[in-house]
A and B are shown apart, each in its own frame.
Chain A
Amino acid sequence: GNSVTQMEGPVTLSEEAFLTINCTYTATGYPSLFWYVQYPGEGLQLLLKATKADDKGSNKGFEATYRKETTSFHLEKGSVQVSDSAVYFCALGAGSARQLTFGSGTQLTVLP
């Protein structure tokens, strides 16, 4: 079946540091890949997505590239801000299945 494995947290960084959160997946066929972000007290919201191999999703300075050869979709940001403190979820959607498969989430805290 489908599964998503993401980097264990929590992750604590200083402002302006470089961020990487690793995500790898197992799926049949050609899934779409997503990063969702959950700010404290809120629901999840889409951060970025990629629907085919070698696509790069980007938003708010975050980027992730769909790597089929390594079955990965790592999230990166060159310079994090305090306001980026949140929980980040990697997810995949496969074929006709409407539901998404989520990773366990990675808590990010950015210190000033």
Chain B
Amino acid sequence: DAGVIQSPRHEVTEMGQEVTLRCKPISGHNSLFWYRQTMMRGLELLIYFNNNVPIDDSGMPEDRFSAKMPNASFSTLKIQPSEPRDSAVYFCASTLGGGGTDTQYFGPGTRLTVL
């Protein structure tokens, strides 16, 4: 059974460029989460969706970040324009059900470097 799939695994870009990260959740899961991990700030929740609807985006750092989930099997996180401080590992996770007891399944992450 395929786990959460993220692409690309690594992205190097220059400041000011647009970056799009992609995620395919586990089939049948109805909640999807985007996290950012850095040494300084640890693991931060950026946004999560339930049944393709954004529920809480209070963790999105600023207007340069946007996320969409057009259907149950695909989500994107876009940064436009990118800045060096956006360099981090971005994880997508999905879960079945909607409660706090449910296990989240993480993808392998996208390592973003903004020069």
Chain A residues near B (Cβ < 8 Å): 31-32, 34, 36, 41-46, 49, 51, 89, 92-100, 102, 104-105
User: Given A43-B107, A44-B91, A44-B106, A95–B43 Cβ distance below 8 Å?
Assistant: no
User: Given A98-B98, A99-B33, A49–B103 Cβ distance below 8 Å?
Assistant: yes
Pair A43/B108 contact, Cβ less than 8 Å: yes
Instruction: Known A-B contacts: A42-B108, A93-B99, A96-B98. Give 6 more (CB < 8 A).
Output: A92-B100, A93-B100, A93-B102, A96-B100, A98-B99, A99-B33
Chain B residues near A (Cβ < 8 Å): 4, 31, 33, 42-43, 45, 48, 50, 55-56, 91, 93, 95, 98-109
**B91 partner, pick from A31, A32, A43, A100, beta carbons under 8 A:** A43
What separation, in Å, do the CA atoms of A46 and B98 have in the docked complex? Answer: 17
Q: Enumerate chain B residues within 8 angstroms of A102, measured Cβ to Cβ.
A: 42-43
What separation, in Å, do the CA atoms of A94 and B98 have in the docked complex? Answer: 11
Nearest CB in chain A to that of B4: its residue: A43
Pair A98/B43 contact, Cβ less than 8 Å: no
Say how far B24's CB is from chain A's closest CB, in angstroms: 14
What separation, in Å, do the CA atoms of A105 and B95 have in the docked complex? Answer: 21
Q: Enumerate chain B residues within 8 angstroms of A99, measured Cβ to Cβ.
A: 33, 45, 48, 56, 100
Nearest CB in chain B to that of A2: its residue: B100
Pair A32/B101 contact, Cβ less than 8 Å: yes
Q: Enumerate chain A residues within 8 angstroms of B102, measured Cβ to Cβ.
A: 93, 98
Pair B100/A100 contact, Cβ less than 8 Å: yes
Pair B100/A31 contact, Cβ less than 8 Å: yes
Pair A89/B43 contact, Cβ less than 8 Å: yes
**A46 partner, pick from B45, B99, B103, B109, beta carbons under 8 A:** B103
**B55 partner, pick from A36, A41, A46, A98, beta carbons under 8 A:** A98
Pair B42/A104 contact, Cβ less than 8 Å: yes
Pair B100/A97 contact, Cβ less than 8 Å: yes
What separation, in Å, do the CA atoms of A94 and B105 have in the docked complex? Answer: 17
